[in-house]
Amino acid sequence: MENLDKIFKKVHASYFGILGVVIFLIGVIPAISVQNNFSFLTTFVSDLAVPGWNDLAIYFSIFWFITGLFMVLFILGFTQFLQSKGASTKSTNIACILGVISAIGILMLALFNTRDADLLHDIAQYVFFFPGILYLFSYAYLENKLSEFPLWQALFNLIVVFFFILYFVLFFINKIDETLLVEAKVVAEWLFLFGNLFWFVETGLFILKNK
C-alpha cells in the first residue's frame, strides 16, 4: 500500500481512468479503420483482436491489455478517495476487489479472442461482466451515502449497469439460439463497453474536481 500511496501522490488516481480510456481509443480506432466491412451492428469488439481477420489485431490487443492495467490502478485510487471521504473501509474494499476482478477480465479478453479460444473468451466475459455489475451497484450505494456525491452521480452507475444487464440478456438469448437478436447483441456490447469506459472518465473527472 505504501508504494501505491507514493504513486497516487505523484499521479492523481483520476488520470489512470482517463488515460486508460484514451489508450483504448488509440488502440480501437485504427483497428476499426482497417477492419473489412466494420459495423457496430455486426462486428464484436473481440473480433478486432482476431489475428488474420484484423491486420491490427495484436496492436489492438496490446492497447486493450494496457487499458485493463490502468483500470486496476484507477479502482485502487478510487477506493482510497472514497475512504478519505468517510466511506466504510469494509464496503469500499469489497467494491475494490470486485472492480479489480472485473479489470482482470479486461486483461483476459485482450488475451483470448473468440476465434482461437472460445471457452477462455467466455470465461473472461463472465469475469468482466458479473463483478462489473456488482462493483457498479456497490459504488452507487457508497456514493449515495456520502454527501460529497450528488444523487445523479450514484444514479449514473445504475445507468451503466443497465447496459451491462441488457447485453447479458441478449447474450444468453443468443446462446440458446445463435440466430436470434445477433445485431442487437452486437450493439448492446458496444453500448455497455463505451458506457463502462465513460464511467471511468466521468468518475475520474468528478474525483479530480473534488479531491
**129-159 per-position pLDDT tens digit:** 889 999 999 999 999 888 888 888 889 999 9
72 near 108, Cβ under 8 Å? no
Residue 102: which pLDDT band, with cuts at 50, 70 and 90?
Answer: very high
Residue 168: closest CA among 126, 140, 136: 126
Question: Which pLDDT value is given to residue 170?
Answer: 86
Please give the span between the terminal C-alpha atoms of the chain, in angstroms, as a whole number. Answer: 19
Would you say the pTM of this structure is higher than 0.75? Answer: yes
74 near 100, Cβ under 8 Å? no
Q: What is the pLDDT of residues 15-68, one digit of tens each?
A: 999 999 999 999 999 999 988 888 888 888 888 888 878 889 899 999 999 999
Q: What is the pLDDT of residues 155-183, one digit of tens each?
A: 999 999 998 888 888 888 877 777 778 78
Residue 182 and residue 211: Cα distance in Å, rounded? 43
